[in-house]
Amino acid sequence: MVVKEVLSIRGLKKSYPGVMALKGVNLAFKAGEIHGLIGENGAGKSTLIKILAGIVKPDDGEVTILGKSVQIRNSKDSSRNRLCFIHQELNLVTYFNAAENIFLGHSYPRRLRFFVDWKRLKAKTKEITDALQVRIPLDTPVSYLSAVDRAMVAIARAFAVSGDIYFMDEPATALTDIEKEKLFRVIKTLKSQGKTVVYVSHNLDDILDITDRITVMRDGTVVECRETLETTKDDLIRSMIGKSLESAFPSREGKAGAVVFKAGDIHNESIDGLSFDVRAGEILGIGGLVGAGRTELLETIFGARGKDSGTFTLNGVPFRPSSPRSAIEQGVVLVPEERRKQGLVLSRSIYENISMMSLGDISNFGFLNHRVIRNRSEEAGEKVRLKCSSYSNHVGTLSGGNQQKVVFAKTVLQEPKLLLLDEPSKGVDVGARFEIYSIIRDLASRGTAVIIVSSDFNEVLGLTDRILFIKEGRMVSLKDNIDMNQEKYLNCCYGRDS
């Protein structure tokens, strides 16, 4: 059987000041295939997708759809060519509700030509969400929805119109395993209908699991394109970063020191009587399923969420953060899950963002020493393998993964007493992920106490010393991370282990 190429790209180029994001990319997608697109942070994946969406204008190159050369000057051109998108940044209008977002840019159903037919809009939205088997509150402004629901809105939007090729730029980073399975089911259905799905992800297990072919990009070029059945994870890592990774996690060393942080019988709307402590040099994982209260626990410690009763102690003295700012001032730092939303000022420079929280340290009698700020920011940036052409560029110009690294670099500069990490490696490429793990270990070995929440249980198993399992805000068990494996871990999450 000859499979037609539905879309091919030849000589695609795009440069930004100081960086050539695409250096002449050649690539082709076939009908009825799930095509993985992978590469390190900053490799050019999103730029390529934004060009096909008509959001970014290329400098040069040709796009051919079903053998015909096409011009994609804007998003209308793109939808006319039946291309659908889930962008990395979701691009939702946060004060619109889910239904409005899903049909945004498409024509809303109308009554008498002028009036939006809200009833039909909602009914049509429900059809789409039912097909996805998800329940999203349809009347609530998107800004009030959880990260998972927001991601599902963006996904549903891609399915609101029918297309031939679906581009999904890291659609699953905010999803739980359950939603991810639903998404994969939809992707497979699209494939069975002869449609093409281009799937971008740093989760190589997912890529190997669902794709038929995989294209690897590096530094704005295509390194290779392989059949998924003929490749391994190690092959992919090698062609992505140019070398193998011996081990995914840094080795654990040293003993935990004195107790740094203590929580005593904490209660609020999400937490129901939690007590535990973390020692200097220790990495404590919080295990549990989505909805167990893990993120809420971190936010409560960070002063972003109030508590009804209970006590915190930091280095032996009562710790009562009235706000995140006061938590930071006392040496407690949170790296939130949604970094773009909570951790960065996109219109400020990279070095300003990195040094933002630690200015107190670097200022000299109230005067900022800009050279020191720059040097220290660059040092921290290098530690996380930040890829940028200049530290004076706005953070908004960085690739998604590199923006995450900025938040991390910022944290590293502070040497916190207690570091709270919510999904520390989401959206970060495999090479940088190892660097981030090493930094966490390194901070711990210098005395920081670390609490980490991650839905990737390999990460929890590979990185932590102890794991506190919680369910519905209550402690299920507290385990030393010895002889743990996936099965035991999941049992503990479900509370099946006493």
Ligand X SMILES: Nc1ncnc2c1ncn2[C@@H]1O[C@H](COP(=O)(O)OP(=O)(O)OP(=O)(O)O)[C@@H](O)[C@H]1O
44 binds, among Mg ion, ligand X, none (CB under 5 to 8 A by kind): ligand X
Distances (CA, A) of 142 to 153, 160, 304: 8, 17, 20
Positive or negative: CA dihedral 206, 203, 141, 336: positive
Query: x/- binding map, residues 283-322, to ligand X, per CB under 6 A?
Result: ----------------------------------------
Which residues in 43-72 contact ligand X (CB under 6 A)?
Answer: 43-47
How many Å is the Cα radius of gyration of the chain? 23
- Name the region of 371 (left: φ>0; alpha: ψ -120 to 50; beta: rest): alpha
Is the CB of residue 479 less than 8 Å from the CB of residue 485?
no
Which residue of 36, 39, 321, 424 would you call a contact of ligand X, by CB under 6 A?
Answer: 39
Which residue of 25, 36, 42, 406 would you call a contact of ligand X, by CB under 6 A?
Answer: 42
Residue with Cβ nearer ligand X (401 or 416): 401
> Counting contacts by CB under 6 A, is residue 16 touching ligand X?
yes
Query: x/- binding map, residues 71-90, to ligand X, per CB under 6 A?
Result: -----------------x--
CA end-to-end distance (rounded Å), the chain: 56
Provide the 10 A C-beta neighbour count for residue 134.
21
Q: Which stretch binds ligand X (CB under 6 A): 34-42, 206-214, 233-241, 363-371?
A: 34-42
CA 102 to chain centre: 21
Residue with Cβ nearer Mg ion (46 or 377): 46
Residue with Cβ nearer ligand X (46 or 97): 46
Structure tokens at 328: 């930071």
Is the CB of residue 451 less than 8 Å from the CB of residue 421?
yes
Residue with Cβ nearer Mg ion (35 or 471): 35
Which residue of 215, 355, 399, 425 would you call a contact of ligand X, by CB under 6 A?
Answer: 399
Residue 391 CB, shortest distance to ligand X, in Å, is 12
Residue with Cβ nearer ligand X (220 or 287): 220
> Counting contacts by CB under 6 A, is residue 398 touching ligand X?
yes
Residue with Cβ nearer ligand X (58 or 401): 401
Residue 282 CB, shortest distance to Mg ion, in Å, is 34
Q: Which stretch binds ligand X (CB under 6 A): 16-24, 61-69, 320-328, 374-382?
A: 16-24
One-letter amino acid of 377: S
479 binds, among Mg ion, ligand X, none (CB under 5 to 8 A by kind): none
Is the CB of residue 95 less than 8 Å from the CB of residue 141?
yes
Is the CB of residue 153 less than 8 Å from the CB of residue 183?
no
Q: Residue with CB nearest ligand X? A: 401
Distances (CA, A) of 19 to 13, 43, 191, 263, 388: 11, 11, 36, 47, 8
CA 470 to chain centre: 23
355 binds, among Mg ion, ligand X, none (CB under 5 to 8 A by kind): none
Which residues in 402-431 contact ligand X (CB under 6 A)?
Answer: 402
Residue 49 CB, shortest distance to ligand X, in Å, is 8
Provide the 10 A C-beta neighbour count for residue 309.
10
Which residue of 7, 19, 99, 476 would you call a contact of ligand X, by CB under 6 A?
Answer: 19
> Counting contacts by CB under 6 A, is residue 481 touching ligand X?
no
The H-or-E segment that residue 468 falls in is strand 466-471
Binding site for Mg ion (CB under 5 A): 46, 88, 399-400
Q: Which stretch binds ligand X (CB under 6 A): 78-86, 259-267, 355-363, 400-408?
A: 400-408
Residue 395 CB, shortest distance to ligand X, in Å, is 10
Provide the 10 A C-beta neighbour count for residue 385.
22
- Alpha-carbon span 361 to 319, nearest angstrom: 22
Helix (H, G, I), strand (E, B) or coil at 486: helix
Residue with Cβ nearer Mg ion (15 or 315): 15
Q: Which stretch binds ligand X (CB under 6 A): 36-44, 244-252, 416-424, 477-485?
A: 36-44
**Which among 206, 91, 85 has a CA at the least distance from the CA of 150?**
91
β-bridge partners, 65: 7, 68
- Alpha-carbon span 107 to 353, nearest angstrom: 39
Residue with Cβ nearer ligand X (39 or 288): 39
Residue with Cβ nearer Mg ion (36 or 400): 400
Q: In what order do the strands lie in the sheet with 34-39?
A: 83-86, 165-169, 196-200, 34-39, 213-218, 221-227
Task: List residues binding ligand X (CB under 6 A).
Answer: 16, 19, 21, 39, 41-47, 88, 387-388, 397-402
